[in-house]
Amino acid sequence: MNREEEMLSAEVSADSLLNAVKSFLIESAAPHLEGRDRFNARVAANVLGIIQREQTIRPALQALDQDAATRWLPDIDAGANIIQQLSLALARREIENEPGIFDYLKARQLLVTAINNPKYASRAIAKQRWQSN
């Protein structure tokens, strides 16, 4: 299905809508803009890319965090901020040298950077090192 057919279909996914706006900004709007407006159009397109990646990666990140909460925060309240509670537990040294905590933190960082900045050079190096162990 090409982009026009996709736009005419009864159900258009959020990803398709984000792609359409992102393409418009980069391919149609930005070339006709100058200076700050052109820069802002590119920033807006990048934000849409972050939203797309977040929608794709969020389930894996949530599952990873939930597994961590089950493992290291067995008494956490439903609806509590898992990351905040894990951070506090680490700061208080309630989770110290626990098997798997460093692997969790590395896996989480790779997912977060896959959302925010997947082309970050250090991410590729970290991914290669961390996933080969």
Confidence at residue 15, expressed as pLDDT on a 0 to 100 scale: 87
Angle between helices 35-72 and 101-116 (to 10 degrees): 160
First to last CA, the chain: 41
89: tokens are 């537990």
Note whether 48 and 22 are within 8 A (CB): yes
- 68-89 pLDDT, tens per residue? 999 999 888 888 899 999 999 9
**Residue 52 Cα to chain centre, angstroms:** 8
Model pTM? Answer: 0.76
Q: Which residue has the tokens 């977040």?
A: 54
In angstroms, the CA 129 to CA 101 distance is 17
Confidence at residue 125, expressed as pLDDT on a 0 to 100 scale: 86
Residues of the chain with pLDDT under 70: 1, 3-10, 133
Q: Is 127 exposed, middle or buried (0-12, 13-18, 19+ CB in 10 A)?
A: middle
Confidence at residue 10, expressed as pLDDT on a 0 to 100 scale: 60
Confidence at residue 95, expressed as pLDDT on a 0 to 100 scale: 86
Confidence at residue 74, expressed as pLDDT on a 0 to 100 scale: 86
Confidence at residue 8, expressed as pLDDT on a 0 to 100 scale: 63
Residues of the chain with pLDDT > 70: what percent?
92
User: In sequence order, what E strands does 1-133 have?
Assistant: none
Residues 6+ apart with CB under 8 A from 113: 120, 123
Confidence at residue 9, expressed as pLDDT on a 0 to 100 scale: 61
Confidence at residue 5, expressed as pLDDT on a 0 to 100 scale: 67
In angstroms, the CA 104 to CA 74 distance is 16
